[in-house]
Amino acid sequence: MSSVMSTIADQKPDATPRRAPQPEPAPAKLYITGGTGFVGRAVVAEAQRRGHPTTATSRRGTAGDHLPAATDQATIDLRSASGIAESLAGVSTVVHLAATKEGDFHSQFAGTVVGTENLLNAMTVAGIKNLVAISTFSVYDYLNIAPGETIDERSPIDRNPVLRDEYARTKLIQERLYQDFAEQGNNVVILRPGMIYGPNNLWHALLGSDFGPRFLRIGNNATLPLTYVENCAEAIVLAAEHLSQPNSILSGEIINIVDDDLPTQNTYVEEVADRRATPPTVTIPWPVMNAFASGIKAANRHLLGGRAKFPGLFVPDRLHARFKPLRYTNARAKRLLNWSPRYNLSEAIEASVAVEQSELEATFH
């Protein structure tokens, strides 16, 4: 980590935690990249609920009809520098959500890394210094963190992600860009949400993977680092409010975002299955899957020089990042943001299923 963003690694837990003063939600204008996406729509709605004028970016052809009517929209492709600086006029703080999560490495590099480079350069041209930078739990070095340990902001990030998936690799590069921007004298807070769930995103990659006609679940009892999309959106907007204040204590900080009372895999699946259909599944215990993947990796290294390619479930570097039994904390987010998740697990799943059913009914009318 750079010197600006590394203060957390050197800190010990506070004996008497210092809470940040709750800022008045002054009408700072927020610029939200990826504002028409799953998380972006929730952030825009929360920002406007708290009285902030907002500009939401989207690529050409991306529907923005789910955004509040008062939202300014900027049709911007961050992969091109054209027009970004001009669209930032009058903005106080940028919330950078946009990233590419699918496709090969080159596609994700263009969408995540090049897009971030262009945005930060445009912020410099426009004279905007406040950035809420959205990262991910995927940057942590899961392979070298022991089972049962607590992931917090001091946990090591992956320094050799060659066997990680494209998303983790590009997000690690993106974090370096954030740190470089901070070293140039800008105000940057990096938020690392866990798995963000909600409507149409209830059955997710931390449970397992499609495997032929069935869903292959990996493990039963690992704790899931979840945050409901509306809880996460509130944390993001609170960070933007704090960072918009003069001499904000958030500048240079890294903050993990997960909800309270995190469920195990079994508890989560039961909560979802009580309310909606779930795919037919086959479950493999974590120790069995881990041993199997480790054996494949060893055989590949010794017999084939590591040249063989296998699906992600059979690559320990990726398997550990999704299924290793670990613990998680949101203490820092609560202290620095004065944030407390509004929705518990049952409420969040209930609300998500209600939205899904409403959307389904709308398609038949």
* Residue 315 one-letter amino acid: V
Q: Which of 8-22, 60-74, 148-162: highest mean pLDDT? A: 148-162
Contact present, 67 and 82 (Cβ < 8 Å): no
Q: Within a domain: residue 209?
A: no
Instruction: Please report the pLDDT score of residue 221 as a whole number.
Output: 95
pLDDT at 107 over 50: yes
Q: Within a domain: residue 269?
A: no
Instruction: Please report the pLDDT score of residue 16 as a whole number.
Output: 37
The domain tally of the chain equals 1
Q: Which of 250, 248, 112 is closest to 120 using CA atoms?
A: 112
Q: Within a domain: residue 245?
A: yes
**Residue 88's domain spans which residues?**
7-198+225-258+326-347
Q: Within a domain: residue 103?
A: yes
Mean pLDDT of 57-70: 64
Query: What is the distance between the alpha carbons of residues 350 and 101, in angstroms, rounded to a whole number?
Result: 27
Contact present, 56 and 71 (Cβ < 8 Å): yes
Instruction: Please report the pLDDT score of residue 275 as a whole number.
Output: 96
Strand (E) or helix (H) holding 214 = strand 214-218
CA angle 289, 198, 210 (to 5 degrees): 30
Q: Within a domain: residue 207?
A: no
Query: What is the distance between the alpha carbons of residues 217 and 149, in angstroms, rounded to a whole number?
Result: 22
Instruction: Please report the pLDDT score of residue 7 as a whole number.
Output: 43
Coil/strand/helix, residue 238: helix
Q: Within a domain: residue 277?
A: no
Query: What is the distance between the alpha carbons of residues 293 and 313, in angstroms, rounded to a whole number?
Result: 7
- The alpha carbon of residue 81 and the mean position of all alpha carbons in its chain are separated, in whole angstroms, by 24
Q: Within a domain: residue 41?
A: yes
24-38, 195-209, 302-316, 351-365: segment of lowest average pLDDT: 302-316
Mean pLDDT of 182-191: 97
pLDDT confidence tier of residue 5, bands split at 50, 70 and 90: low
Instruction: Please report the pLDDT score of residue 106 as a whole number.
Output: 94
Average pLDDT value for the chain: 89
Query: What is the distance between the alpha carbons of residues 224 and 345, in angstroms, rounded to a whole number?
Result: 11
Query: What is the distance between the alpha carbons of residues 282 and 276, in angstroms, rounded to a whole number?
Result: 18
Mean pLDDT of 321-344: 97
CATH number of domain containing 21:
3.40.50.720
Q: What share of the chain is helix, strand, coil (3-state, %, to 5)?
A: 40, 15, 45
Model pLDDT for residues 109-122, shown as the tens digit of each residue: 999 999 999 999 99
Mean pLDDT of 215-235: 97
Q: Within a domain: residue 152?
A: yes
Model pLDDT for residues 7-50, shown as the tens digit of each residue: 434 443 443 344 455 545 557 899 999 999 999 999 999 999 99
Contact present, 130 and 243 (Cβ < 8 Å): yes
Gyration radius from the chain CA atoms: 20
DSSP 11: P
Task: For residue 97, count other CB atoms closer than 10 A to its CB.
Answer: 23
Model-wide pTM > 0.85: yes
Query: What is the distance between the alpha carbons of residues 99 and 116, in angstroms, rounded to a whole number?
Result: 8
Model pLDDT for residues 191-220, shown as the tens digit of each residue: 999 999 999 999 999 999 988 889 999 999
Q: Which of 256, 44, 83, 225 is closest to 154 using CA atoms?
A: 256
What per-residue string of b and e applies to 323-353 under the rule 16 or more CB within 10 Å gives b? bbbbebbbebbbebbebebebebeebbebbb
